């Protein structure tokens, strides 16, 4: 699984996004999964985003201001 790959490369595990067809179809039609009825995929994306944001915040807390990374909104 994804966790083993993260361990193998010594990087933080951010989450697993399900490989479901409606994510791709939504992207093709311009309807992001976050505005769809697919709660499983929504939760997966929210967990991934939250983990990424926390990781960036923790990294920034340990760096001098000239090396802080900003997230685009």
Q: Which residue has the higher pLDDT, 69 or 36?
A: 36
Whether the CB-CB separation of 55 and 15 falls below 8 Å is answered with no
Q: Which residue has the higher pLDDT, 2 or 18?
A: 18
> With 70 as the cut, is the pLDDT of residue 17 above it?
yes
Whether the CB-CB separation of 14 and 52 falls below 8 Å is answered with yes
Residue 47 confidence (pLDDT): 92
Share of the chain above pLDDT 70, in %: 86
Q: What is the DSSP string of 46-68?
A: HHHHHHHHHHHHHHHHTS-GGG-
């Amino acid at each position: 699984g994804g966790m083993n790959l993260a361990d193998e490369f010594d990087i933080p595990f951010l989450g697993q996004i399900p490989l479901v067809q409606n994510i791709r179809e939504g992207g093709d039609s311009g309807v992001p999964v976050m505005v769809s009825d697919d709660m499983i995929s929504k939760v997966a994306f929210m967990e991934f985003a939250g983990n990424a944001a926390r990781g960036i915040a923790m990294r920034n807390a340990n760096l001098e201001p000239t090396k802080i990374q900003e997230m685009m909104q």
